[in-house]
């Protein structure tokens, strides 16, 4: 019988990415919503790893199943690594992409363009209700642009330019993004571990 693995996110687009990358594992992939009104695990950590570990363990305990959770965000060099762990709520409202992107551009205004280098970073954590079993990490390097482009993706994707591709993350087709993204890299590493564990 396949082990149930809870993909611990309520972000629909993130969930779709995770399912696409984990397809074919000997596991019954479930969404958090499949378990009713599971309370949100607070993100109080100062690092992506602290938050990912807390969420994986918290949701594993809440559902009684193994859980896979991530914490990810944008690190901009000119801003000393901000918004970092506060990426999804940087504008003051959780998940408001427009506000977050306005806050990003306002923070970069007046800073030299050559310092607008950035990366998406993701840490994945796998936990049982008793303990965290493993963590993996992935990053994707790029630059911030003040000319948004593309309608694929979410979050900061329209402003995150991939110089070697000559386009933003939001201009990539989903299957291409899924091979380049920070989440893909963290998940691909986690998938290898899960293949052994399962």
CATH number assigned to the domain comprising residue 47: 3.90.950.10
pLDDT of residue 32: 93
Tell me the two tokens of residue 29. 């992939």
pLDDT tens-digit series, residues 5-50: 999 998 887 898 889 889 899 999 999 999 988 999 998 999 999 9
Q: Which two tokens stand for residue 7?
A: 């993909």
**SS3 of residue 191 by DSSP:** helix
Q: Look-up: residue for tokens 């914490």?
A: 71
By residue range, what is the domain housing residue 69? 3-197
Q: Give CA–CA dist 127/35, Å, rounded.
A: 17
Burial classification of residue 166, based on how many CB atoms lie within 10 Å of its CB (0-12 exposed, 13-18 middle, 19 or more buried) = exposed
Of 184, 151, 185, the C-alpha closest to 168 is 151
What number of other Cβ atoms are within 10 A of residue 96's Cβ?
15
Q: What is the pTM of this model?
A: 0.89
pLDDT, the chain, mean: 93
Q: For residue range 57-70, what is the model confidence (pLDDT) as tens digits?
A: 999 999 999 999 99
> In the prediction, which pLDDT does 169 show?
95
Report, as residue numbers or ranges, the catalytic residues: 71
Distance from C-alpha of 180 to C-alpha of 170, rounded to nearest angstrom: 12
What is the pLDDT confidence band of residue 125, given thresholds at 50, 70 and 90? very high
Q: Extract the tokens encoding 59.
A: 């949701």
Report the domain count for the chain: 1
Name the token pair of 175: 């299957």
């Amino acid at each position: 019988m396949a082990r149930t693995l809870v993909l611990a996110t309520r972000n629909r687009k993130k969930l779709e990415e995770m399912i696409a990358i984990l397809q074919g594992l000997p596991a019954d992939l479930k969404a958090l919503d499949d378990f009713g009104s599971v309370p949100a695990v607070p993100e109080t950590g100062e690092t992506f790893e602290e938050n990912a570990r807390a969420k994986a363990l918290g949701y594993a305990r809440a559902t009684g199943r193994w859980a896979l959770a991530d914490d990810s965000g944008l690190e901009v060099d000119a801003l000393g690594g901000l918004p970092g762990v506060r990426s999804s709520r940087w504008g003051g409202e959780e998940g408001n992409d427009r506000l977050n992107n306005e806050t990003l551009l306002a923070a970069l205004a007046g800073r030299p363009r050559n310092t607008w280098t950035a990366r998406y970073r993701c840490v994945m954590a796998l936990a049982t209700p008793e303990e965290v079993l493993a963590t993996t990490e992935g990053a994707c390097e790029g630059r911030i642009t003040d000319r948004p482009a593309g309608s694929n993706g979410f979050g900061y994707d329209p402003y995150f330019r991939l110089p070697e591709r000559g386009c933003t993350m939001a201009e990539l087709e989903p299957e291409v993004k899924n091979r380049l993204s920070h989440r893909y890299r963290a998940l691909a590493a986690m998938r290898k571990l899960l293949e052994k564990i399962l």
